[in-house]
Amino acid sequence: MLYIFDLGNVIVDIDFNRVLGAWSDFSRVPLATFKSRIFAMGETFHQHERGEISDEAFAERFCQEMGLSLSYEQFSHGWQAVFVAVRPEVIDIMHKLREQGHRVVVLSNTNRLHTTFWPEEYPEVKAAADKIYLSQEMGMRKPEARIYQAVLQAEGFTAADAVFFDDNADNIEGANQLGITSILVTGKRDDTRLLCEAAMLKTVHQKATHHTRPLRAWLKLLWHRIDEDNMTTLAGNLAYVSLLSLVPLVAVIFALFSAFPMFADVSLQLRHFVFANFIPATGDVIQNYIEQFVANSSKMTAVGACGLIVTALLLMYAIDNALNTIWRS
């Protein structure tokens, strides 16, 4: 399985109020004034996360949109203040998944200003992941379908074999549309552990269900066919008719051979083969009765012989009809 973890508010707690607080201190603008302004993640923000514009260009545009009067250094310091602390319980789960043989990666919408801070501040994130995918390096961002597809292709997994954790509902919806099992992480840090563990159990259950579903469907269809075709009665009739037809069939075959002396050796070899391979331990007694039956059948008139042949053929026809009914052919 492939487990894909978002970074912010999944592995590491983030809080944009800390960003506004730092900018308030630098600009001497009251924090309440900043909070009253619309803090929108618009196209400039998206372009920065895709790596389409530089950090300096992003800072300049963002300050213009927000009405901020900050130097680039002040803006950068405040922008990096968003990170609060790593969630050790999620790091533990990531390690546990890797120990179980699963592939664990991080997929984050981020930017260069942030990636110059958090990898050194939280080295345990890199240690817990097999690979880290960053939006500004990939030139795409969540919830774009192509970013999920790129990760699946790079890792060699299908969407059905992947689980995705994120705190953004739009990102969850984007992954869901591709068939990736997606878990929306919200609430307290303890809730994150419960969600991760629940997702692990859910994935195991889904995989087990996925593998047993075809077998259950086949068994259900088989039982329906047995009931619809009254197969239990057919099986009983088939067994009875088959056993009943063996004696006249064998009698006809051996009688035909006995009628032509040139086939005497073939008849003898066939008889030994039949009794050696298809007759149980009491075959001697059965053999005596069949040989008596064959000897008597050789004394029959032409009409009697024809009747015996017709009887054998009708019995075989009944077997053929029963088999055709079972196989619907």
Is 194 or 275 the better-scoring residue by pLDDT?
275
pLDDT, residue 79, reads: 94
pLDDT band at 80 (very low <50, low <70, confident <90, very high): very high
Stretch 54-74: mean pLDDT: 90
313 vs 79, higher pLDDT: 79
Determine what percent of the chain is predicted with pLDDT higher than 90.
Answer: 44
With CA atoms as reference, report the closest residue to 290 among 253, 261, 260, 316: 253
Nearest partner of 50 among 58, 62, 39, 38, judged by Cα: 58
Give the pLDDT of residue 320.
75
Confidence class for position 319, pLDDT limits 50, 70, 90 = confident
Q: What is the pLDDT of residues 81-100, one digit of tens each?
A: 999 999 999 999 999 999 99
Q: Taking residues 287-308, what's their average pLDDT?
A: 68
pLDDT level of residue 262 (50, 70, 90 thresholds): low
Q: Residue 252: is its pLDDT beyond 90? A: no
Task: Using alpha carbons only, give the angle 137, 180, 188 rounded to the nearest 5 degrees.
Answer: 80
Confidence tier at 310 by pLDDT (50, 70, 90): confident
Q: What is the pLDDT of residue 68?
A: 84
**How much is the pLDDT for 129?**
97
Q: Can you give the pLDDT at residue 255?
A: 66
pLDDT grade for 329, boundaries at 50, 70 and 90: low
Query: What is the per-residue pLDDT across 3-61, written as a single tens digit (0 to 9) for each?
Result: 999 999 999 999 988 998 999 899 888 877 766 665 567 889 999 999 999 999 999 99
Is residue 171 within 8 Å of 6, Cβ to Cβ? yes
Q: Is 61 exposed, middle or buried (0-12, 13-18, 19+ CB in 10 A)?
A: middle
Residues with Cβ within 8 Å of residue 279, at least 6 apart in sequence? 286, 287
Closest Cα partner for 103 from 142, 155, 178?
155
Contacts of 298 (CB under 8 A, 6+ apart): 255, 258, 259
d(CA 91, CA 307): 86
140, 52 contact by CB (below 8 A): no
- Would the pLDDT of 300 be above 90? no
Whether 92 sits among the annotated catalytic residues: the reply is no
- CA-CA distance, 87 to 195, in Å (whole number)? 14
37 or 118, which is more confident = 118
Strand partners, 182: 164
Reported pTM: 0.60
Instruction: Let me know: does 46 contact 110? Beta carbons within 8 Å.
Output: no
**151 touches 161 (CB < 8 A):** no
Q: What is the DSSP letter of 162?
A: E
- Distance, CA of 34 to CA of 40 (rounded, Å): 12
C-alpha distances in angstroms, 76 versus 13, 59, 62? 19, 8, 12
- The DSSP element (H or E) to which 289 belongs, if any, is helix 283-297
Q: What is the pLDDT of residue 191?
A: 52
Catalytic-labelled residue, pool 6, 55, 161, 166: 6
* Segment among 111-120, 297-306, 316-325 with least mean pLDDT: 297-306
Q: What is the residue whose two structure tokens read 């774009």?
A: 144
Which is higher by pLDDT, 259 or 1? 1
The pLDDT value given to residue 208:
52
pLDDT score for 251: 66
With contact defined as beta carbons under 8 Å apart, do 118 and 32 qualify? no
Q: What is the pLDDT of residue 46?
A: 94
Q: How far apart are CA 37 and CA 121, in angstroms?
A: 30
Q: How high is the pLDDT of residue 240?
A: 67
Q: Is the pLDDT of residue 153 over 70?
A: yes
